[in-house]
Amino acid sequence: MSFLGLDIAQKGLSLYTVSYPSPEASSAPPRSRWRQVPAAVASIMAAHTYASIASGKLYDVANPRKLNDVVAADEKLNKIIKARIFRAEAAAANGFETLGLYAAGVVAANVAGVDPRFVNTISFSYIGLRILYNIVYIRLQDNRNWAPVRSLSWILSIACTFTLYFTAASKFASA
C-alpha cells in the first residue's frame, strides 16, 4: 500500500534517508532510495523560516539569535505579527528540544526490528502532530482558546515518541 507515493511498509522509511544495509539483505545489491529531507527537521525549520520572513528587514542574517530582542524593541511592528514571531521562534526551539528524543526512538525501533508499518505510521503521526502544533501555536493562538489544542498536539507527539521506545524495548525483551 502506498501513501503519496511512499510505501508505508518500506523498512527504514521512518529514518527519512537513503537506504541502509539490513542484515537480511546483506547479499542483495543495495537499493537506492530517493534522498529525502528529514521531515521532522523541515517542520521545525518551517517555524523559524516563518519568523524570519514575518520579521522582514528586522531579521539580521549575521545575528539571527537577536531576532526576538530586535522584534521586541521595534515599535512600528504590528502587535499580532510580533506575537506570531515570538511564538514561531518558541515553536522552533520546542521542536529542536524534542527532536533528539524522537530521532533516538526511531532508531531504537528500527534497530529492534519493530514492524516497519508500525514505525512508519507512528513517525508520520509524530510529523503530522508537530505540523499541527506549529500551525496552532503560530497562527491560531492569536485566540488563546486554541492553547489546549496546542498542548494536546504536543502531548500526543511525545506519546508517539515514547510508543517507539516502548515498542522497541518490548521487541528486545521478547528476543
How does residue 76 score in pLDDT terms, banded at 50, 70 and 90?
very high
Look at residue 30 and tell me if it is in a domain.
no
Domains in the chain: how many in total?
1
Parent domain of 54: 38-174
pLDDT at 47: 96
Residue 98's CATH number: 1.20.120
Angle subtended at Cα 52 by Cα 50 and Cα 56, rounded to the nearest 5 degrees: 110
Q: Tell me: the pLDDT tens digits for 140-175? A: 999 999 999 999 999 999 999 999 999 999 999 997
CA atoms within 13 A on the CB side of 154: 16
Look at residue 153 and tell me if it is in a domain.
yes
Look at residue 67 and tell me if it is in a domain.
yes
Q: Which long-range contacts (CB under 8 A, 24 or more apart) does 55-62 make?
A: 55/85
For the chain, first and last CA: distance in Å? 28
C-alpha to C-alpha distance for 15 and 36, rounded to whole angstroms: 9
Look at residue 71 and tell me if it is in a domain.
yes
How does residue 117 score in pLDDT terms, banded at 50, 70 and 90?
confident
Q: Tell me: the pLDDT tens digits for 6-24? A: 565 666 555 554 334 444 4
Which has the higher per-residue pLDDT, 38 or 106?
Answer: 106
Supply the pTM of this predicted model. 0.80
